Amino acid sequence: MSFTDEIFAIGEACLYIYLPKNAKKKKLNNNFLEKKLGTVATTRKLTIIKN
């Protein structure tokens, strides 16, 4: 499966994902991750995390 401009990195206890532009329309989204990983996932914009 091609994710074009979507980038991810695996952290010690988390997964970092870069989804430029419209994240809702990307293939590597929250629903995809929950199904593939078999766990509950949550996503946040970087601006929310920094505040």
pLDDT (tens digit per residue) in 5-38: 888 888 898 888 887 777 667 778 888 889 998 9
| Nearest-angstrom CA–CA distance, 8 and 16 | 5
Amino acid at 50: K
Q: Using an 8 Å Cβ cutoff, are 29 and 23 in contact? A: yes
What confidence score (pLDDT) does residue 2 get?
A: 64
pLDDT of residue 38: 93
The dihedral through the CA atoms of 26, 27, 31, 34 has a sign that is negative
What are the sequence ranges of the domains in the chain? Answer: 7-50
Ranges of beta strands (E only) in 1-51 are 7-10, 15-18
Beta bridge partners of 7: 18
Mean pLDDT along residues 35-50: 85
How far is it, in rounded angstroms, from Cα 41 to Cα 31?
A: 8
More confident residue, 4 or 16: 16
